A and B are shown apart, each in its own frame.
Chain A
Amino acid sequence: MPKITFVQPDGTESALDVDAGTTVMMAALAASVEGILAECGGNAMCATCHVVVVDPTRPGLPPVSDDEDEMLDCTASPRKEGSRLSCQLPVTEELDGLVVRLPEEQM
């Protein structure tokens, strides 16, 4: 079961064992991880499930689509290298060990 770690702005970490086949956003919601609003329910329309991947060059990350790229320009906390919409990150075995930081604000 892939392990995904969410790091809050204050440094608090929550490590989740997540079933493959969901998304990083859905896993965060299911575990009530603070700081993921995901208002649009995973349609890449709201930019409120913004996370920053600590190692954006790691394997298992799909490329940023045009729709995701556009929404990342609309995030409440400024876009950084490694910024992603967590709804666009499917959880796979390859993603085991992923660490993402939560931004200060989602809206």
Chain B
Amino acid sequence: MAQVIDDFAQTIQLDQLWSDPYPIYRRLRATQPVAWVPAANRYLVTRHADIAYLEKHPDIFSAAESPSLMTRVMGHTMLRKDGAEHLRERKAAEPAVRPRIVKQRWTPVFQRIADELIDGFLERGEADLFTDYAAPLAARSLAAVLGLAEVAGADLEEWSQAMMDGNGNYGDDPAVWQRADAAARGVENAVDAAIERLTAHPDDSVISAMLHAEDPLSHQSIRDNLKMFIGGGLNEPRDATLVGTYALLTHPEQRAAVDADPGRFKDVFEETVRWVAPIGMYPRQTTVETELGGVILPAGARLGIVLASANRDESVFTDPDAFDINRTNRVHLAFGGGPHYCLGTWIGRAQVGAVSMPTLLRRLPNLRLDETVPVRWGGWVFRGLLNLPVRWDA
């Protein structure tokens, strides 16, 4: 009698993950929570409990993946380091992004940028909030926080996308490398100019914090880490702004609740990043043979930690596919955990939860989806809306 082997993971294709990963994750959680997925060339880890566990054991589940496309594009950044080496670089950057400075120094900057962008299109009565608002707001805000305020938002958007494409260049496309390398050089030049200025005149920015830390970082380390911040710090607030706004525009009762009490934008933000985690997957590599979710993993196993799936885990969240700002259980893993817990957490909460979404809904009367243009979603490593066509009463 022929044996039927149900190995769903073998059949998963990357284009299916890109279009809509959630049904795939649901099935993996139910049947193969730690599964070798040939198309991704890694084990995908999809249950909340297993991810919460591995985040607390960074000695076993290392961030220093090797070889790493990211290291090829950006050099040695803190995101691919472990232990004391990682902590030293992280601590140097932290003063610029802790909650108090975010509130006092950066939130007013975010607000000014948001208002300027809205002033520019308010009378038009229609916009694509991706290109007209969320992307430039995220880029200009990031430039300010990093200490690159003189860099144009459009340059930052190009650099970010080009380096991210390089990080995902598994097909070894030479054109992608060329564009990524050009972006990396662009960042290095801009950072060098900032270093020169900030060495003499310190300010509250990330570059300044790294330069003037108690244990200051080398200029090369600052350049490399800035590539990582630009590659990885732009799309998340952009995507959270778009997804959260879309969710409110398609859930009128919840929108009414935040109209009545703007304090609830905090809940909107947390539910948005739970519902569609901007970073859907990040890599880890085992340092020793270990067991995870009932599966024995060899030393050196490459893992994909699927935060997007943990955030829809039915054993943790009731009706996990629904957008619901009234959830009582909010233990989402959108910011990751452990030593690599998102450095931009408080920036994201302020930029999106306190500025970008509330300002849009306050300033654009009768804001609604433009029903004539369909919204498009995409991505699994990073996921979000690819457009957000809207209209309002101008």
- From B58, B98, B99, B331, give the contact of A41 (CB < 8 A): B58
Shortest beta-carbon distance from A100 to chain B in Å: 20
- Chain A residue numbers with a CB within 8 Å of B58 are 41
B345 at the binding interface (Cβ < 8 Å) = yes
- From B100, B330, B331, B337, give the contact of A40 (CB < 8 A): B337
Query: Do A41 and B56 have beta carbons less than 8 Å apart?
Result: yes
A67 at the binding interface (Cβ < 8 Å) = yes
A107 at the binding interface (Cβ < 8 Å) = yes
B339 at the binding interface (Cβ < 8 Å) = yes
A-B contact count (CB 8 A): 44
- Chain A residue numbers with a CB within 8 Å of B87 are 43
- Chain A residue numbers with a CB within 8 Å of B270 are 107
Which of A29, A37, A74 gathers the greatest number of chain B CB atoms within 10 Å? Answer: A74
A37 to B99, CA, bound (A): 19
A105 to B346, CA, bound (A): 18
A89 at the binding interface (Cβ < 8 Å) = no
Q: With A45-B94, A107-B331 in contact, is A40–B341 under 8 Å at CB? A: yes
- Chain A residue numbers with a CB within 8 Å of B99 are 70-71, 73-74
A43 to B338, CA, bound (A): 9
Q: With A29-B56, A41-B341, A45-B345 in contact, is A67–B98 under 8 Å at CB? A: yes
Type the 1/0 row for B45-60, where 1 means its CB is closer than 8 Å to any CB of A: 0000000000110100
A24 at the binding interface (Cβ < 8 Å) = no
Q: How large is the interface on B (under 10, 10 to 19, 20 to 34, 35 or more residues)?
A: 20 to 34
Query: Do B341 and A45 have beta carbons less than 8 Å apart?
Result: yes
B392 at the binding interface (Cβ < 8 Å) = no
- From A39, A67, A105, give the contact of B335 (CB < 8 A): A39
- Chain A residue numbers with a CB within 8 Å of B339 are 40-41, 43
Type the 1/0 row for B81-110, where 1 means its CB is closer than 8 Å to any CB of A: 000000100100010001110000000000
Shortest beta-carbon distance from A27 to chain B in Å: 13
Query: Do A41 and B345 have beta carbons less than 8 Å apart?
Result: no
A105 to B270, CA, bound (A): 14
Q: Closest A-chain residue to B52, C-beta based?
A: A37
Query: Do B330 and A107 have beta carbons less than 8 Å apart?
Result: yes
* Number of chain A residues whose Cβ lies closer than 8 Å to a Cβ of chain B: 17
Query: Do A39 and B337 have beta carbons less than 8 Å apart?
Result: yes
Shortest beta-carbon distance from A62 to chain B in Å: 19
Q: Name the interface residues of B326-353: CB closer than 8 Å to any CB of A.
A: 330-331, 335, 337-339, 341, 343, 345-346
- Chain B residue numbers with a CB within 8 Å of A40 are 337-339, 341
A99 at the binding interface (Cβ < 8 Å) = no
A70 to B95, CA, bound (A): 12
A51 at the binding interface (Cβ < 8 Å) = no
A98 at the binding interface (Cβ < 8 Å) = no
A39 to B51, CA, bound (A): 12
Query: Do B330 and A43 have beta carbons less than 8 Å apart?
Result: no
- From B94, B331, B343, give the contact of A37 (CB < 8 A): B331
Q: Name the interface residues of A23-78: CB closer than 8 Å to any CB of B.
A: 29, 37-41, 43, 45-46, 67, 70-71, 73-74
Shortest beta-carbon distance from A20 to chain B in Å: 21
Shortest beta-carbon distance from B266 to chain A in Å: 10
Shortest beta-carbon distance from B345 to chain A in Å: 7
In order of increasing CB-CB distance, the 6 nearest A-B pairs are A40-B341, A41-B338, A70-B100, A39-B337, A74-B99, A41-B339
10 A-B pairs within 8 Å (CB atoms) are namely A29-B56, A39-B335, A39-B338, A40-B339, A41-B55, A45-B98, A70-B99, A71-B99, A74-B346, A107-B331
